[in-house]
Amino acid sequence: MKFKANQQASRMPEPNLVPMMDVVMTVLIFFVIVSMTLTSFQAVDVPLPSTDKGISKEKPTDPIIVGMNRQGQILMNNTTVTDTQLAQLIVTYVEKNPKGTVVLKADKDVTYEKVVKVLGTLRDIGGDRVSLAIE
């Protein structure tokens, strides 16, 4: 005699996961909605800058370019100048163009010590309008 009930009991039951995933998603959506309603977004009243005020209407002046070649010589308009001549040229440029800038273009093979020395000299004369050109 074969009993069909014994043969069916030996098989593993297969749980249906779809209803469990529906419940989990429903609970997750509930907590997301509740958390969004409980947190209040308080706006801060801060005046933001506009682009109109930051743009200068006047034409910027051309910068004066100081060069240094591989030998460490200071060049202005493709002519070699001394430290005192450089100082005089920068002083006259700054007096003519109070908003003008001074740019130092040094060769990459010039030692760092020489570049810093010339930058220091230019900064002492030109103030915060001195910069180093890079590529």
Helix or strand run (H / E) with residue 21: helix 18-38
Residue 1 has pLDDT above 80, yes or no: no
The predicted model gives 99-123 an average pLDDT of: 86
As a whole number of angstroms, the distance between CA 97 and CA 62 comes to 9
The whole-number pLDDT of residue 5 equals 55
The whole-number pLDDT of residue 9 equals 57
Domain spanning 61-132, CATH architecture: 2-Layer Sandwich (3.30)
The whole-number pLDDT of residue 7 equals 56
Q: What is the pTM of this model?
A: 0.53
**Mean pLDDT of all residues belonging to the chain:** 80
- Would you kindly state where each structural domain of the chain is located, as residue ranges? 61-132
- Opening angle at CA 77, ends 71 and 80, nearest 5: 35
Shortest CA distance to 86 belongs to which of 112, 65, 113, 115? 65
| CA 28 vs CA 6, 20, 32, 114: distances in Å | 41, 12, 6, 66
